[in-house]
Amino acid sequence: MAVSNSDGRSLSHRKTLQENTDGWVLIISPRRSLVAEVAAELREPSHSLGLRVEVCQGNEVFKLGTGPSVRIASATMVLDSLAAGGERIASLERLKLVILESLEILDADYELAISVLRLRCHGLPVRFVGSSASLNDSADLAAWLQVDNSALYSFRPTDRDQSFAIVTKTFTTPFSSALFKAMAKPAHSAITFHPERPVIVFVPSRNHCRSVAMDLITQCALSDINNIRGFVPSHVDQNELEFRMVKLQDRTLADFVLKGIGFYHTGVGKTDRALMLQMYIEGVVRVLIAPRQSCWTLPVRAGVVIVMGTQHVVFGEDKSDRQVRDYELEEIARMQGRAIRPGLDGHLYLFCHPDAKDMFARLLNEGLPLESSLPDAGPLVVDWIQKSRGAGISVGKQKRNQEVHNILSWTFLRWRITSNPIHYDIKRGGNDSLWQAVEKILSEETPH
C-alpha cells in the first residue's frame, strides 16, 4: 500500500493483524527512531486481539517464544538476528505475517534485511505486507515483493478524503540568519491565517529553534502592538498557563510558553519535552517548533505545518568544513505527513529556493522516487555474508561472488537495474546485468 495518509496504513495493519492471530507477527521499521511510534500505534489493537507486543532488542528478533505475539524491530536488528541465526531459523516456521513499514525509506540496510528474510522464508507460508508513502512508480516494488496487481494499492499524494492545501513560497536569500528573518513574516501570516489551529514549524536544526521563536514573537508585536499573548489560544486562561509553567525545569522556556510556543528536540530536557508535548496536545501551546531530524520522532500532528527552508548545514570533523545540503525528499514527505489528520483538513507551507520549487511540486503531487542503495553498500553486503558464515570461516573469491549474486537476486536492485539501467550504469549487451551489479558492489568493498 503506497498512500500519503499514514493513518490509512495503520488501519490496514490493524485489519491485517485481525486475520493473523495464529503464530507470531514481525513488524520491521527502517529506523530505530520509528520503532517506538509503531509500537504505540499498534499496542491497543494488538492487545484487543490477544497479541503481546514486544519491542525487540539486539539480535534476538527470531528467538523462540510462546504464544501469539507482535514483535517490532528495526532493519539493523533484523539483519543482525538473521546473521546470528544462520540459514535455518526454527522460529520462522511459526512466523505468519511480516509487515514492512515505511518502504519509502528503503536504505541499504532495510533492503538487505527484507531480501534475506524473504530468502529464509522461501517455501514457508509467510505473508508479507508492505506500506510506504505515495510513490511515483510502485510497480517494481510490488514485483520485488511478489505482490499481485490485485493486491497492490498505489495512490497519488492528492488521493485523500480530506482537503489538503500546499502553499509554496520562494526565497533567493542564501542560507543565513537573514534568510530566517525574511521567512518570519510569512510564517507568522500563515499561523494567524488559521486561528486556533495547532501548528508545527520545522527548522533546519535545534540551534534555529529559539531564534525563529523570537522572530515570530517579534512579528506578533509588529502586527499588533496590543498583542501580549502571542499565539496563546483564546480559550486558555492566563492562570492556567502560569500554573503549567511552574512545572518547567528550564525556566528560560517559560517566556516562550507564555507566547504559546513550545519546542521539541533533544536539547530540551526529557521532562520539559514531555510537558511541552502535553501542552501542545491539550491546546495550551499552539505552535511547536522542531528541527529537521525530529520529523522522524515527533509523535503529534498539526492543522498547519510550516517548513522554514529546505537546506541544512553539515560540518566536517574539525568544524571548519561547512557544507549546505538539501533536505532528503523523504524528510519533506514526512513533514507533509504531520499535517494529515483523519477527517480534518490540513495545510502545508513550504519555504524554499526558487530552483527547488518545481522539484518539490512534483514530489508533493506525484509521489516519491525510489531506487536501490545497495550499489554503494558493498562492505555492508560482504560483511553480512561473512557474519552469517561465522567467525574464522573464509571462502574463495568465486564462492564469495556467487554468494553475493544469490543475495542480490532477492533484492529490489535486481528489478531496478532492468527498469532503470542507466541510473546504475548497467551496460546492455555485456555480462548479465545482475553480475554487473555484483562487480560494482564488490568494487565498493573496503579492506578489513
Query: Same domain for 324 and 239?
Result: yes
Query: Same domain for 120 and 252?
Result: no
Q: Please give the pLDDT value at position 79.
A: 94
Query: Same domain for 116 and 227?
Result: no
Strands 346-352 and 164-170: parallel
Lowest mean pLDDT among 15-19, 114-118, 266-270, 355-359: 15-19
Asked whether residue 253 is assigned to any structural domain, the reply reads: yes
Boundary-marking domain end, from 308, 334, 366:
366
The average confidence (pLDDT) of the chain is 88
Q: What nine digits make up the cell of 16?
A: 491485517
Asked whether residue 159 is assigned to any structural domain, the reply reads: no
Q: Looking at the predicted structure, is the pLDDT value of residue 188 above 70?
A: yes
Boundary-marking domain end, from 122, 151, 180:
151
Mean pLDDT of 40-60: 79
Size of the chain in residues: 448
Query: Same domain for 211 and 316?
Result: yes
Confidence of residue 1 (pLDDT cuts 50, 70, 90): confident
Of the candidates 364, 406, 351, the one whose C-alpha atom is nearest the C-alpha of residue 122 is 406
Query: Same domain for 139 and 180?
Result: no
CB 180 within 8 A of CB 215: yes
Please name the residues in contact with 150: beta carbons below 8 A apart, sequence gap of 6 or more.
none
Confidence of residue 10 (pLDDT cuts 50, 70, 90): low
Q: What nine digits make up the cell of 105?
A: 525509506
For the stretch 69-118, pLDDT in tens is 889 999 999 999 999 887 778 889 889 999 999 999 999 999 999 999 99
Asked whether residue 382 is assigned to any structural domain, the reply reads: yes
Confidence of residue 2 (pLDDT cuts 50, 70, 90): confident
Confidence of residue 143 (pLDDT cuts 50, 70, 90): very high
CB 184 within 8 A of CB 212: yes
Asked whether residue 448 is assigned to any structural domain, the reply reads: no
Q: Looking at the predicted structure, is the pLDDT value of residue 410 above 80?
A: yes
Asked whether residue 156 is assigned to any structural domain, the reply reads: no
Query: Same domain for 261 and 410?
Result: no
Q: Which helix (H) or strand (E) holds 75?
A: helix 75-85
Asked whether residue 94 is assigned to any structural domain, the reply reads: yes
**CATH number, residue 189:** 3.40.50.300
Q: Looking at the predicted structure, is the pLDDT value of residue 447 above 60?
A: no
Asked whether residue 157 is assigned to any structural domain, the reply reads: no
Task: Give the integer Cα–Cα distance in Å for 248 and 27.
Answer: 36
Tell me which residue range forms the domain holding 58: 6-151
pTM higher than 0.85: no
Q: Looking at the predicted structure, is the pLDDT value of residue 422 above 60?
A: yes
Query: Same domain for 380 and 362?
Result: no
CB 257 within 8 A of CB 285: yes
Boundary-marking domain end, from 345, 366, 387:
366
Q: What nine digits make up the cell of 225?
A: 502592538
Confidence of residue 446 (pLDDT cuts 50, 70, 90): very low
Q: Please give the pLDDT value at position 386.
A: 85
Query: Same domain for 16 and 59?
Result: yes
CB neighbour burial string for 53-87, b if at least 16 within 10 angstroms, e if fewer: bbbbeebbbbeeeeebbbbbbbbbbbbbbbbbbee
Query: Same domain for 355 and 278?
Result: yes
Q: Looking at the predicted structure, is the pLDDT value of residue 312 above 60?
A: yes
Asked whether residue 158 is assigned to any structural domain, the reply reads: no
Query: Same domain for 118 and 204?
Result: no
Task: Give the integer Cα–Cα distance in Å for 145 and 164.
Answer: 31
Query: Same domain for 386 and 353?
Result: no
Q: Using H for helix, E for strand and C for coil, what is the string for 335-393?
A: HHHCCCECCECEEEEEEECHHHHHHHHHHHHHCECCCCCHHHCHHHHHHHHHHHHCCCC
Q: Please give the pLDDT value at position 161.
A: 67
Domains: count for the chain:
3
Mean pLDDT of 293-310: 94
Query: Same domain for 300 and 399?
Result: no
CB 79 within 8 A of CB 116: yes
Task: Give the integer Cα–Cα distance in Å for 251 and 272.
Answer: 10
